[in-house]
Chains A and B, each alone.
Chain A
Amino acid sequence: MALDFEFRKQVMDYHIGSDLIKYCYQCSRCADNCPITAVTTDFYTTTGYNPRSNILNALLGYKDAIFNADPLTIWGCTVCDTCDEVCPQNIELTEIFTFLKNQSIAAGNGPDFVYAQAEAIFESAKAIPSQPAIERRREQLGLPPVAAPDVSEFQTLLKNIGTQRKLK
């Protein structure tokens, strides 16, 4: 398995407290407390979603073990931030996993729903666009209309940083 030093550097740079990740001693508290590890792995946690091995592989630069594996390796994370709280070394695991997901998306390998949501947000500046039926319901409930966002300004912002190019 090849080491990718550039990837390793990116992982290190991503962490706000950048040297913390180096002090992971693989205690497995993250995996022991992960709700998705609990429902996807066997007793020895050799299969399924495992935050501990993701941190190890990211730290060592084993890019292939992360990106050329079952997408569950990255996308099994449900973003509950429990691992961040239980880590004895205060490693911001979820931030590292965000970086891995961003890389997976840029390579076109993310789950369909993530692309679909990003598309909806790009098109309407809302994850869930306004619909006539709901607008009527708001009125019936005595609610003011939702203030419409400036979609054009919003799209300019996203085009400038290259987000649009990552859409499918």
Chain B
Amino acid sequence: MRGMIKKMTEFKMFEGCTIGNRIPFIEAASRRVFDKVGIETSQTNFSCCPDPTGMKSFDNDAWLVIGARNLCLAEAEGKNIISLCNGCTNTLRGVQYQLKHDSWKMDKVNKELAKIGKEYKGTIDIKHFVDVLSDNLDKVKGAITKPLDGLKVAVHPGCHYMRPAEWMESDDPMRPTTLKKLVEASGASVVDYGEEILCCGSAVTNAYEEHGFANLKIKMDAIKKSGADVIAVNCPACYQQFDTRQKDLGKKYETEYDTPVMYITELYALAMGFTPDDIGLKFHRVRLKSTLEKLGL
């Protein structure tokens, strides 16, 4: 029946600095998956979100006004935002939350925005792409033509996807389940490793590498012990922490760490029939050869 087919509203795509300007192959996989699922997006000239670990720590007022300005750009078109990144989602939802609950901050921010001819009203919403996929799980399942049978996946949803719960309003902040459900929908199986909610340590590694690596070792040792073929992530900072730093971690602790890291949309793209070349899997640092062989690709 026609009335039952609800056309999905178009989102403004917030790919973020890291994905857009450093690891665009993740955007390629995500856009292909969105097309298959029927998630429509369009672009706007967003700035940096800005980063909830770096820029927020630098100057919270700057974090608020930059975030609010980005929200204004989406408000001008009356569209909700879909974000490909935990950090961007966390910032945009955090700014929205703080301005909604603190009239003093709202007045201060709008006073500054008025000087550049803008006003934040709070009329749009910000969605993490994981939640949008989860809301459309039937369509996701319908688009899967090559289930990833036999693939063992360790999930890492990442801190800013679900915490702080007050403003993320997505998943259980300490016992998240959404990414597990998404992985299972691909035909792969989830392996529990006991450190699912442990931070990847990206933020602290930038200031204190030894502490970041000590934390990463706890995470990677648990994943290695679980026998996972691949780590599934939904954040570019976590992706980079695992993909680029496993090798150095191995050198530091004289242990081999070589578990491939994949965005959930990369797993989906393969399960929806795209080839590794279509989505640029060759740009991963930790080689995916063993994973692809296991999948017969």
Contact = CB atoms under 8 A, between A and B. Distances in A.
Contacts of B202: 78
A118 B164 CA distance: 24
Contacts of A2: none
B201 interface: yes
Given A35-B215, A36-B215, A76-B208, A117 B58 contact: yes
B21 A134 contact: yes
B61 A161 contact: yes
Interface in A108-162: 110-111, 113-115, 117-118, 121, 125-131, 134, 137-138, 140-144, 146-150, 153-154, 156-158, 160-161
Contacts of B59: 102, 105, 118, 161, 163, 166
B62 A137 contact: no
B56 A16 contact: no
B61 A39 contact: no
Given A105-B57, A166-B58, A154 B47 contact: yes
A64 interface: no
Interface stretch (A4-12, A23-31, A50-58, A80-88): A80-88
Contacts of A147: 43-46
Contacts of A16: 98, 101-102
Interface string B11-30: 00001011011101101100
B58 A134 contact: no
B242 to A, nearest CB: 15
B45 A79 contact: no
A78 B62 contact: no
Contact of A146 (B21, B66, B215): B21
Given A81-B163, A137-B24, A153 B207 contact: no
Contacts of A111: 206-207
B292 interface: no
Contacts, number: 196
A80 B212 CA distance: 12
A157 B69 contact: yes
Contacts of B45: 147-150
Interface residues of A, number: 63
Contact of B54 (A86, A125, A127, A150): A127
Interface in A84-111: 84-86, 92, 94, 98-99, 101-102, 105, 110-111
Given A80-B199, A127-B54, A163-B59, A94 B22 contact: no
B65 to A, nearest CB: 6
Nearest to A90: B166
Given A82-B197, A157-B116, A163 B62 contact: yes
Given A39-B214, A105-B58, A127-B51, A134 B24 contact: yes
Contact of A143 (B28, B112, B198): B28
Contacts of B280: 137, 140-141
B76 interface: no
Given A154-B47, A163-B59, A128 B207 contact: no
A131 B218 CA distance: 35
Contacts of B222: none
Contact of A78 (B58, B165, B215): B215
Contacts of A78: 53, 199, 201-204, 212, 215
B48 A121 contact: yes
A77 interface: yes
Given A154-B47, A163-B62, 14 more contacts: A40-B211, A78-B201, A82-B197, A85-B174, A102-B58, A114-B206, A117-B58, A121-B50, A121-B66, A125-B48, A127-B55, A154-B66, A158-B65, A163-B59
The 3 closest A-B pairs by CB, nearest first: A78-B204, A81-B163, A80-B199
Interface of B: 15, 17-18, 20-22, 24-25, 27-28, 31, 43-48, 50-62, 65-66, 69, 98, 101-102, 112-113, 115-116, 159-160, 163-165, 173-174, 197-199, 201-204, 206-208, 211-212, 214-215, 218, 279-280, 283
25 contacts: A39-B211, A39-B215, A72-B208, A75-B208, A78-B53, A78-B212, A79-B53, A80-B199, A85-B174, A110-B58, A118-B58, A121-B55, A125-B48, A127-B54, A128-B17, A129-B21, A137-B24, A147-B44, A149-B46, A149-B47, A149-B48, A150-B45, A154-B69, A161-B61, A161-B62
